[in-house]
Structure 1
Amino acid sequence: MSSKNKTYLESLVSQLPPEQETSEELLSCYEIILFGLGISYYGVPLAARDIDVNIYLSETLNAVVELPSFVITPIILERVNRRSSVLVNTLLGGASGVLCFVLSVLGKTGIAFAFELATFFCARIGFNLMAVYMVEMFPTCVRSSATMMFRQALVVGGACCPLIASIGRDLPSVSFAIFGVAMSGLGLFVLILPETKGSSLCDTMEEQEKRDQAINSSCC
């Protein structure tokens, strides 16, 4: 992280309530998760050429699978808590990436491509879930700044994916395994984050402090 970004991160953290569980480490967890999702979201379609399928068909289907994610995400958010949904989604996406690599090596192209689509679909769902997670986590006065930082982490992950995808020139489809491991491995950081499902959105730091104190009291 550059000194400029680090200074900005520290200034954002200094605005957060000291009693809130949010800290620089917590903010870093969000960025790490989105970095892993960014690598997979931007990298998987880029590496699709490593699978022996029609490139035009593969890119079209990768675009099409994004559409159901906007219908499924609200259902997940309504029925499952935030940490569990992100964790399960990233683990499934990671497993799909690894299976895509294994099946591609075994020559089962059609099934491998199906798992490629599943990996991309999970990356899209993960981004949707994290977007809502961030909104619920931060009060309005710093929410825009926090969202901007996390989007930056997503884009940085996307900037790294061409390097990973290029590995497939020498080891066909191995990039899918790397994308999968990155998504699932970095997704484990969600276990450090607090649960926000059902919590009210706050506009100021004072409101958030009161909300967190009420939550802590009820848990004791």
Structure 2
Amino acid sequence: MDLRFLEVLGWFRAFSDMYLRGLCLSLESLTFLGHASWRVLYLCTSVPAAVHSICLLFFALESPRWLYLQGRNQEAIEVLKIISPETRAYLESVSSRLPRQQHLEQAPRYTIKDLFIRTWAFKRIIVVMIIMFGLGMSYYGVPLAVRDIKLNIYLSEALNAMVELPSFVITPILLESFTRRSSVLVNALVGGASGVLCCFLSLFGRTKIAFALELVSFLCARIGFNLMAVYIVELFPTCVRNCAMTMLRQALVVGGACCPIIASIGRHVPSLSFAVFGFAMSGFGLFVLLLPETKGSSLCDTMEAQELRDKALKISPSF
């Protein structure tokens, strides 16, 4: 997968995330300047979210690969015309050579069950979920525990929202320059080490340096999510890719659900929660060594094609 894939299919996602980061910054400013009530905050979060959802309805495009697998060839061609940099006359001729709906109806249908009944897919999705669980703990927990660092809470939260913006620049560079496994592994180790150092420096009163390391740890958690979102696209074929992405996000949310309990540790032992989040990110990040390297490999559409490709690349049958 090259950067052109991210540029063509991910522009609206990047815009959406930047929009949400700006919303977070504006909410921090609103709370800091006006000490708004919870009703005002609910209104400020609900209305922009509704507008964002409406924009998705009109501007987000369906995946051409998925449309093709569903036999909706004409719709797939129309999407390709929209995202093409210029008019592609050959797309019309391609449409006539695509298999018709009745031929595709004879092909097997895949569901989320296929992720669990095939050994290699089950092991991959479990490893991915373990990694995302650790990233979710850090991504949601580190900003929650920032109150343990004796700094202005409003400024701290605003900077945590702002630090996500560089991740959209750093992630494509890592994807282009390094392998998938090494990028995820090094990122997890750096983020985990930053969290542990943040804990000790905060205990010794070096609050400014500790806060800088907290921002690094949070940035690494965000970059790790971006890297895994691309990695999982290459690990699973089109027929179950949406299901795999759903499991990835579910693991992220479950990790986030556990972080308030860990963050509460800081009330008794200040900043200890940063060390816990750091060890979680690094420890669970080591599981990426169990996944195959996929950089430069082609995307498959079916489970059988994925198995044949992995066999051709001499990837371990277990993973």
Tell me the TM-score normalised to structure 1 length. Answer: 0.90
Q: Displaced runs of 4+ in structure 1, greater than 4 A?
A: 8-11
Larger Rg: 2
Letter in 2 for 1:118: V
Indicate the residue corresponding to 1:13 in structure 2: 116
Identity within the alignment, %: 70
Amino acid in the other structure paired with 2:164: E
- How far the C-alpha of 1:23 sits from its partner, in A, is 3.9
1:9 touches 1:24 (CA, 8 Å); kept in 2? no
CA distance in structure 2 between the partners assigned to 1:10 and 1:208 by the alignment: 16
Q: Which has the higher helix share?
A: 1
Amino acid at match of 1:13: F
CA-to-aligned-CA distance 1:59-89 (integer Å, 9 cap, x gap): 0100011001011100100010000000000
Higher RCO, 1 vs 2 (CA within 8 Å, ≥6 residues apart): 1
State the partner residue of 2:155: 57
Distance of 1:145 and 1:74 partners within structure 2: 24
The 5 A counterparts of 1:27-46 are 27-46=125-144
* Pairwise CA RMSD: 1.5
User: How far 1:208 sits from its partner (Å)?
Assistant: 1.6
Q: What displacement does 1:210 show?
A: 2.7
For residues 198-213 of structure 1, the aligned pairs below 5 Å read 198-213=296-311
> 1:106-145 maps to which residues of 2 (within 5 A)?
106-145=204-243
Are 1:86 and 2:184 an aligned pair?
yes
Separation of aligned partners in 1, 2:285 and 2:304 = 31
Shift of 1:11: 4.6
1:203: how far off?
1.0
What count of residue pairs does the alignment treat as equivalent? 205
Contact preservation (8 Å) 1:82, 1:129: yes
Gaps of 5+ in 1: 1-7
> Residues 103 and 109 of structure 1 are in contact (CA less than 8 Å); yes or no, is this contact kept in structure 2?
yes
State how far apart, in whole Å, the 1-side matches of 2:272 and 2:307 are.
Answer: 47
Instruction: Please say if residues 167 and 223 of structure 2, whose CA atoms lie closer than 8 Å, have aligned partners that are also in contact.
Output: yes
State the Cα distance separating 1:206 from its structure 2 match: 2.9
Between the aligned partners of 2:272 and 2:198, the Cα distance in structure 1 is 9
- The correspondence for 2:293, drawn from 195, 202, 205, is 195
Give the unaligned 5+ runs of structure 2.
1-110
Letter in 2 for 1:165: A
Q: C-alpha distance in 2, partners of 1:147/1:165?
A: 27
